[in-house]
Amino acid sequence: MLNEILVGYDGTKRSEHAALFAAKLFPRARFHIVTVVDTRRAGVYYTKMIWKIMERSSREAAYKLEKKLEREQVKTRIAILKGKPSREILRYSRDHDISTLVFSTYTKEGIQTLYLGSTVEEVLESSHDKQVLIVKKKVKNPVVKKILLATDATKYSKRAENGALMLASHLGAKLTALYIHPEDTIPSKVQRDMKANIKWKAEHMGVMTQLLFLTGKPEELILEELKKYDMLVMGTGGRGFYHWLIRRKIGHLAREVIATSDKPVFLFN
């Protein structure tokens, strides 16, 4: 999962910060710096000369990032592709057996909505086995000591739960598994299942883990709890309080969390 990592690079400082943050977390991985020249823009006729100019410009930008990543002593590879970005990124990730992707995002100024961009949206909608690290801005202290896992304790959160445990083990971080129920009482079955699954796995993996059960509005409570942590892990599909995220889309809950918090978010399909 973490041996090969794809960075969707668009030449901006945001995507550079995302790549460098990931390099700090996973220094033993090979980083594939992938830039896709979108040749579908309406009204633009791409002659061979225009394509060469755009390819040269993209490659020069990628080389700059490559040098910065190499200063972090990570292995790199550059790929300049053309076509529909999401399709080319997914094709490249399949061809090179890459399941972890890194993207940057930004919040439109003045409105409380997240602009993810069609590439991130389509990658998540079209893939069943990818995990995406989303980094909004430069992380001042790129050390992850505490991870918050938001789970609905159903089969739809299993990949996120397993991913969070693996990340915590890899990073030597403490993990808190958070379950939120909209009503006043936490179902006893949920508590038993989380103890039997997450807690049991964590003990066998040597991961310090605590279970946290809260009642109320999920988005508000996740954001409040996330202030105490360095990273959030959650799934992109499920039921229960994740009903916003059905059909492998990033729904209201994830959008609000990412838009409101500056903490990195790891999304698991």
Q: What are phi and psi of 83, to 5 degrees?
A: 135, -155
Last residue of a domain, one of 135, 156, 172: 135
Residue 163: inside a domain = yes
Shared domain check, 56 and 177 = no
Whether residue 21 contacts residue 142, with contact meaning beta carbons closer than 8 Å, is answered with yes
Last residue of a domain, one of 135, 163, 180: 135
CATH number at residue 34: 3.40.50.620
Shared domain check, 153 and 116 = no
- The boundaries of the domain holding residue 29 are 4-135
pLDDT in tens, 104-142: 876 554 434 444 556 777 777 777 788 999 998 888 888
Whether residue 89 contacts residue 101, with contact meaning beta carbons closer than 8 Å, is answered with yes
CA 200, 154, 250, 98 torsion-angle sign: positive
Shared domain check, 210 and 87 = no
Shared domain check, 123 and 14 = yes
Q: Measured between alpha carbons, how far is 69 from 39 in angstroms, rounded to an integer?
A: 28
pLDDT of residue 111: 39
Shared domain check, 185 and 98 = no
Rg value, the chain, Cα: 19
Top pLDDT among 199 and 140 is at 199
Q: What does the DSSP 8-state code read for residue 198?
A: I
Q: Which amino acid is at 201?
A: K
Shared domain check, 125 and 171 = no
Please state the domain count of the chain.
Answer: 2
pLDDT of residue 105: 78
Q: What does the DSSP 8-state code read for residue 138?
A: -
pTM to 2 decimal places:
0.87
Q: Which two tokens stand for residue 24?
A: 């700090």
pLDDT of residue 107: 55
Shared domain check, 178 and 128 = no
Element (H, E) at 22: helix 13-25
pLDDT in tens, 141-181: 889 999 999 998 888 889 999 999 999 999 999 999 999 99
